[in-house]
Amino acid sequence: MKKIALFASGSGTNVENIVDYFEKKEIKNQYLILVNNPHAKVIEKAEKRNIPVYIFDRSMMNNSELENKLAQFAPDLIVLAGFLWKFPENLVKKYTNQIVNIHPALLPKYGGKGMYGHFVHEAVVENGETETGITIHFVNENYDEGAIIFQESTAVLSHFTPEDVAKSVQALEYRYYPVVIEKLLTKK
């Protein structure tokens, strides 16, 4: 049994997809969901599944409280799944190559501070890109600059709106993020 710490800020669709993936494969993992938004829908989803939730704020993230909580849980992998804050440098150093993130574009394009969700999809459409995709990468001290683990692309057709791009990218996220997480866990 592996321990997965899942960080989220919002609806938790990627969290839910990851947990569902492992349940369907009958792989038993222990989860801890860490949330920086006390109103996030992921909390309800976790409670329905009896997955423990730890809610924290920025002050807890920048002192030892969050670090202590992670140390108590002792995760095999830390997974950012719709988590919108920059990860603290002390934790990046402590968990080198144990923190993964998924980005809704083919990095290095459309990465960096402020480039998440619909902002990425809008930029892709505005710039007339013919393809976009996902990048799964290790987290380092800079936004979206960690070593790339996996990328997959999808076409952006000329009539696509940012919402169309979001649907295509989300389908890739759901298909590949759990698979890559499983591969990383089996290497441990």
Q: Which residues are catalytic?
A: 103
Residue 48 in contact with residue 21, Cβ under 8 Å?
no
132: Cα within 13 Å, side-chain hemisphere: 33
d(CA 87, CA 186): 24
- How many CB atoms are closer than 10 A to CB 165? 25
* CA angle, 29 then 25 then 55, to 5°: 35
Segments in 27-116 forming alpha helices (H): 42-48, 58-61, 64-73, 89-94
- Given a contact cutoff of 8 angstroms between Cβ atoms, the answer to whether 98 and 10 are in contact is no
